Chain A
């Protein structure tokens, strides 16, 4: 009886691990769109896509270390990426997703930060990455376009 209980607990632990690490893992809502919008198209005309539901694809190049509440995916052009932001705790991206491919569906939104807010955001980012904060990197108010993620499939 006792052995059975221990085995059940171990199996449960294994199931939890599988749920977060399997290739092709779904996070959040199932994807509904078929056509992938290139990240470059969104970045070229962000206002044109504002409020639109899009499906984007790219390699995961950064993940929120603390809460898994955002990830950056690489664009189809050099030096470009876009942030996928999800509500804290609703979707949690694992740090181990870095380098994997993500297919993400969400709505394009704009984040307008005052200088003080941009400063605070940069300080938070530096803290998260364990880096020294350099306030001179923030020069004024910032406008960032990102995707409010509703669902994502991450594959190896």
Chain B
């Protein structure tokens, strides 16, 4: 019996250890992205958008009909194309689109705002994986990762024996971890 228990514990440790190594990368991706998207109301976790304003003295409702006007706007901003397209949401506004950049001209106020969109390279990719944007094969990898986390949690319970194990201090801490979401849900209800 003792030898069987020792063998079982050896396997438990080996699974926990090796699975832990395998899961480090994805755990970090999910954790970092989790924090980033948790605060989505306070900041944009995918893009950094900077906005500047500048005067466009040539701007007017009649000037906008000139096909060269968007280029004049870009010159005023110290930019040169390529212009992807233009749009007029209303008679007093012209929007000029460039790659990762939008210029919005207030034709009456003769002022433009320039919004630059810069991707947060690492976070954007971490969020893309976390939120399963690729779909398809990534869904299966994410499922396997979730199962691996379950295994890590369960095997983790039996890593230690004695007073620090699941029959001692571990039981209290595990209980605390389970109680936390339960209490919060009860409070929210």
Please list the residues of chain A having a beta carbon within 8 angstroms of any beta carbon in chain B. 13, 16-17, 19-20, 59, 61, 65-68, 74, 78-79, 81, 89, 92, 95-96, 98-100, 130, 156
Contacts and interface: CB of A to CB of B under 8 A. Distances in A.
Q: Which 6 A-B pairs rank lowest in CB-CB distance, beginning with the nearest?
A: A99-B97, A99-B84, A61-B87, A59-B85, A95-B117, A74-B87
Contacts of B102: 98-99
Interface of B: 40, 44, 46-47, 49, 51, 84-85, 87-91, 95, 97-100, 102, 117, 119, 125, 128-129, 131-134
Nearest to A15: B134
B168 to A, nearest CB: 39
Contacts of A98: 84, 97, 102, 117
A62 to B, nearest CB: 9
A81 B88 CA distance: 10
Contact of B90 (A19, A79, A96): A79
A51 B117 CA distance: 35
Contacts of A59: 84-85, 87, 97
A73 B44 CA distance: 22
Contact of A66 (B40, B97, B117, B128): B40
A17 B124 CA distance: 9
B131 A96 contact: no
A92 B128 CA distance: 9
13 contacts: A16-B134, A61-B87, A61-B89, A61-B97, A66-B40, A68-B46, A81-B89, A96-B117, A98-B84, A98-B102, A99-B84, A99-B102, A130-B49
Nearest to B136: A19
Contacts of B129: 16
Contacts of A95: 46-47, 49, 117
A66 B131 CA distance: 13
A105 B47 CA distance: 26
Given A66-B40, A156-B84, 5 more contacts: A59-B87, A89-B131, A96-B100, A99-B99, A130-B51
Given A16-B125, A79-B89, A96-B117, A89 B47 contact: no
A43 B102 CA distance: 26
B131 A13 contact: no
B23 to A, nearest CB: 15
B40 A16 contact: no
B84 A100 contact: yes
A95 B47 CA distance: 8
A95 B84 CA distance: 14
Nearest to B45: A66
B133 A92 contact: yes
Contact of B128 (A20, A67, A79, A81): A20
Contact of A67 (B40, B87, B91, B134): B40
Nearest to B83: A99
